[in-house]
Chain A
């Protein structure tokens, strides 16, 4: 093993540790904080409103669906359909939703409430 070898070895180790620090430091830190949850309200395919779910504020608002106005209630981290004019009232029975990926659907009104945000992984397979 020559001096050149030793120098190269040291340089390579330093470089790889440095690259690990730079790359993984950037890669792993943002993974700790999840993307902010928000409820996205879509009417006839178009996003009409998105509400952040990180605050504890209570509110309700009216969206104009295909068959008439519907009231959506936000309570802290959860959302539900409060009032609707549809015949079956299925959207009302779907109740509160709070987790990413959950949704409330009103078919007659063509209203969709969906919770978006970074979902924690269910499982990892390899």
Chain B
């Protein structure tokens, strides 16, 4: 059991690190976007992977630690943009966890798209609180229309990643299947 906890700790740490790296690098890439505030959301893959492998609490931890670390790296800690990032991460994580746990009809694509929408909703909520104005709602269609393809893309990436089952993902399996894995470890 203890070994399992250590393994989990290491994998979660790696997911946080990967999420942070993706988040920061994504911020550096200036993909020509016609509107500000639109990005690919690659870092969400780490959150979704953590949710998939370890459940809501660990997924939320990965998401929040990723946002805090990435903001420290890029010097945006406690700025308005940071608050938007935190609430966006909260919104997407909660929504994705809900869909992962309560529904069975979605692949990672659907869950990732829902995560993008949750991210947008959380962001706009924080923005309206920061700006003390409900006018930011007019930005919702822009975010939704760009969030759907980016969510689709990251979900597609994650789907094909999970299908591979090679390399590190052979070890990264959902908690339910870990005992089977340990049997084979003991057997060798």
In the assembled complex, how far is the CB of residue A115 from the closest CB belonging to chain B, in whole angstroms?
27
* A12-B117 in contact (CB<8A): yes
Q: Is the contact region of chain B dominated by helix, strand, or loop, or is it mixed?
A: helix
27 contacts between A and B (CB under 8 A): A1-B107, A1-B109, A2-B106, A2-B109, A2-B110, A3-B105, A4-B103, A4-B105, A4-B106, A4-B107, A4-B110, A5-B106, A5-B109, A5-B113, A8-B113, A9-B110, A9-B113, A9-B148, A12-B117, A13-B148, A16-B140, A16-B144, A16-B145, A23-B138, A23-B140, A24-B141, A27-B138
Q: How big is chain B's contact interface, by range?
A: 10 to 19
- How far, in whole Å, are A7 and B148 apart by their CA atoms in the complex? 13
Residues on A with beta carbons closer than 8 Å to the beta carbon of B56: none
- How far, in whole Å, are A12 and B105 apart by their CA atoms in the complex? 16
With CB as the reference atom, state the residue of chain B lying closest to A5: B110
Tell me the count of chain A residues lying within 8 A, CB to CB, of chain B. 18
Which chain B residues have a beta carbon within 8 Å of chain A's beta carbons?
Answer: 103, 105-107, 109-110, 113-114, 117, 137-138, 140-141, 144-145, 148, 152, 155
Interface residues of A in 15-43 (CB under 8 A from B): 15-17, 19-20, 23-24, 27
* B152-A9 in contact (CB<8A): yes
Q: Which 9 A-B pairs have the closest CB atoms?
A: A4-B105, A20-B141, A16-B144, A5-B110, A4-B106, A8-B110, A5-B109, A2-B107, A19-B141
Residues on A with beta carbons closer than 8 Å to the beta carbon of B106: 2, 4-5, 8
- How far, in whole Å, are A15 and B137 apart by their CA atoms in the complex? 14
Q: A12-B117, A23-B137 are in contact. Are A5 and B107 (CB under 8 A)?
A: yes
* A19-B140 in contact (CB<8A): yes
